Structure 1
Amino acid sequence: MIANTFLQDIDEVFNLYKTASDFKKTVSGVQWPDFDRNMIETEIKENRHWKIMVDGHIACVWSITFDDLPVWGDRNTDSAIYIHRIATNPNFRGQKFVEQIAGWAKQFAAENNKRYVRMDTTAGNPRLTGYYVQCGFSHLGSKKMGNAEGLPSHYHKATMELFQLEA
């Protein structure tokens, strides 16, 4: 079941981020930073943070935004939603959550008059890139980031892989 994340879920959300970050480091050598709690609380309060529930447990989380200028540049003017920070509980890996998120996001984007669903990930994990394409996203290529002001630190001077799905 897909639902909005609640403030009372925030400790579990941060546990999932930590677990996902540790896993990400073993796969690609890149680790997520500690995310700002106020940023996550704001996403939750604005109904932009989501979860997949399985048997009463949070199995996966992600957030969305309607603007991502530092990453998407000129393309940011397109009508799109942007998915960020997909993190899966390791006890629920292999359940094709990105496919579920892609289907949900297409519908959510259409209901909000958006043409595209977009996301990015740090370069260096070809298996993940292939999985995102398998889930229906087009791989639009790589983008070398600059200082990435206003974004979490893992964007700073990173190379990002960009993905898009038509809603």
Structure 2
Amino acid sequence: MEDVDIRAAGPEELDTVEALWLEASRWLASRGIDQWQYPPRRWRMAEAVEAGDCYLAVRDGRAIATITVHERADPEWWAEEDPASALYVHDLAVSRRAAGQSLGARLLDWAGAVAAGRGKRWLRLEAWKTNPQLHRYYIGQGFALLRIVDLPHRNSGALFQRPAVPAEAD
């Protein structure tokens, strides 16, 4: 991505990852969307950072977005036949400073290229069940809604995937 560096978040940047998530949570709440309206799961963020799965998008020395990608499928969402051929996106959050600049789309394209580079067929994610605007966004980014898994103890469950596509050469 021109002018944006995507790199793995370091342990010293856990507060930055959490701050991006909290900013997104507050923005969602201001729009009447119940997504991410619970305390951040810092332990999960720390695990992703430690594993090298959590990334920051940085512009001019400032983190403006975070995305987590890994190869572990959540067994409550994905069927046994699903996992092996995909990379999974979690906790994509873009700072309001970078809103409207297609950064989310660029990060999803980056993740798709990572998936393709690892020999994966699909880029997958699960989204909040009660956020149809988010569902439309992902469909607009080339994802197909596979199914909605309704578990009473989970708010996510709208499962999306799109083909993993290598990055285009400059």
Q: What TM-score does the superposition give when structure 1 sets the normalisation length?
A: 0.84
Q: Report the equivalent of 2:155.
A: 158
Letter matched to residue 46 of structure 1: A
| Structure 2: 5+ residue stretches without partners | 165-170
Deviation per CA, 1:75-126, whole angstroms, max 9, x where unpaired?
4434111100111111111111221122111211111111110011112222
| Structure 1: 5+ residue stretches without partners | 147-155
Q: Report the equivalent of 2:15.
A: 11
Q: Report the equivalent of 2:142.
A: 136
Contact 1:102 1:136 in 2 (8 A): no
Aligned-residue offset at 1:4 = 0.9
Aligned-residue offset at 1:22 = 1.9
Q: Report the equivalent of 1:62.
A: 67
Letter matched to residue 48 of structure 2: E
Q: Distance in 1 between matches of 2:103 and 2:81?
A: 27
Letter matched to residue 122 of structure 1: W
Between the aligned residues of both structures, percent identity stands at: 23
Contact 1:67 1:76 in 2 (8 A): no
SS in structure 2 at match of 1:144:
coil
Q: Distance in 2 between matches of 1:160 and 1:3?
A: 28
Q: What TM-score does the superposition give when structure 2 sets the normalisation length?
A: 0.83
Contact 2:9 2:49 in 1 (8 A): yes
Q: Report the equivalent of 2:168.
A: none
Contact 2:35 2:131 in 1 (8 A): no
- Range moving further from structure 2, 25-34 or 127-136: 25-34
- 1:128–1:27 distance in 2 versus 1, CA, 3 Å: farther
- 1:27–1:164 distance in 2 versus 1, CA, 3 Å: farther
Q: Distance in 2 between matches of 1:46 and 1:79?
A: 20
Matched, 1:52 2:57: yes
Deviation per CA, 1:27-77, whole angstroms, max 9, x where unpaired?
422334323333222211211001111221111101122122222133443
Q: Report the equivalent of 1:43.
A: 48
Match of 1:91 among 88, 91, 97: 97
Q: Report the equivalent of 1:109.
A: 115
Q: Report the equivalent of 2:24.
A: 20
SS in structure 2 at match of 1:50:
strand
Contact 2:69 2:111 in 1 (8 A): no
State how many pairs are aligned: 158
Q: Which structure has greater helix proportion?
A: 1
Aligned-residue offset at 1:141 = 3.2
Q: Distance in 2 between matches of 1:63 and 1:17?
A: 12
Letter matched to residue 163 of structure 1: F
Q: Report the equivalent of 1:149.
A: none
